[in-house]
């Protein structure tokens, strides 16, 4: 993948130097508050390797977010095909993010997500991008709304991968954005 750049960020494939950060965000109880698991170092390394392979294969995915000014990796934002949600189309492409806690509230997720939407619609040629999060995850839902996504209440679902031991994490809100609607908001300058 050719790195993408925004005003403050570099969005790129994973490198070995990112392993500590990837483990940090996947084991931080606050970052993972809306997930039923925490990952140990071996599990984090395996997931990062899988994400890197997906980017190598597809040319995009959940990619590392690096601060352009310092070179520090702070998490990931990206788009990826998501066939794991049973009732969604196997061709569905989701946008998602996870950043380390001390970078929250700085607009990095929104900035990177906007660039990924542009990439997905203009360069990949996607017709629609979706996102979903635990229905009570107001931070992620707010990012979805800031980037122009619209809540599809009829599409809300109970996530099959969330175990019954975590019933408060099962219900997920589904958001969508079509290429047509994305173009309209860009043309309007919003």
What confidence score (pLDDT) does residue 32 get?
86
Q: Which residue has the higher pLDDT, 61 or 35?
A: 61
Which is it for the CA torsion 47, 52, 55, 58, positive or negative? negative
Q: Is the pLDDT of residue 85 over 90?
A: no
Query: Is the pLDDT assigned to residue 126 strictly greater than 90?
Result: yes
Tell me: pLDDT of 86 over 70: no
pLDDT of 83 above 80 = no
Q: Which CATH class is domain 4-188?
A: alpha beta
66 within 8 A of 41, measured Cβ to Cβ:
no
The pLDDT tens digits of the residues spanning 130-165 come to 999 999 999 999 999 999 999 999 999 998 888 899
Q: Is the pLDDT of residue 110 over 60?
A: yes
Q: What is the pLDDT of residues 66-81, one digit of tens each?
A: 999 999 999 999 999 8
Hunting for tokens 């084991």 — which residue is that? 27
DSSP assignment of 103-160 equals: GTTSSHHHHHHHHHHHIIIIII--SEEEEEEETT-HHHHHHHHHTT-EE-GGG-EE-T
User: Residue 7 — very low, low, confident or very high, per pLDDT cuts 50/70/90?
Assistant: very high
Angle at 66 between CA 60 and CA 68, to 5 degrees: 120
* pLDDT of the residue at 90: 75
Mean pLDDT of 95-116: 97
Task: Tell me the average pLDDT of the chain.
Answer: 93
pTM of the complete model:
0.93
Q: How confident is the model at residue 35 (pLDDT cuts 50, 70, 90)?
A: confident
């Amino acid at each position: 993948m050719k790195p993408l750049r925004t005003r403050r960020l570099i969005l790129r494939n994973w490198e070995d130097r990112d392993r500590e950060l990837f483990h940090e965000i996947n084991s931080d109880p606050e970052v993972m508050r809306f997930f039923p698991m925490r990952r140990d170092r071996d599990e984090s390394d395996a997931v990062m390797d899988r994400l890197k392979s997906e980017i190598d294969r597809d040319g995009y995915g959940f990619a590392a977010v690096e601060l352009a000014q310092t070179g520090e990796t702070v998490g990931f934002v990206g788009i990826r095909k998501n066939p794991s949600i049973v009732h969604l189309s196997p061709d569905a492409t989701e946008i998602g993010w996870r950043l380390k806690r001390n970078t929250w509230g700085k607009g990095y997720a929104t900035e990177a997500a906007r660039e990924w939407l542009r990439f997905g619609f203009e360069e990949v040629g996607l017709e629609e991008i979706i996102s979903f999060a635990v229905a009570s995850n107001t931070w992620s839902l707010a990012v979805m709304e800031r980037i122009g996504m619209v809540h599809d209440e009829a599409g809300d679902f109970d996530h099959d991968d969330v175990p019954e031991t975590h019933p408060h994490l099962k219900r997920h809100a589904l958001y969508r954005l079509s290429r047509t609607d994305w173009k309209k908001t860009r043309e309007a300058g919003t």
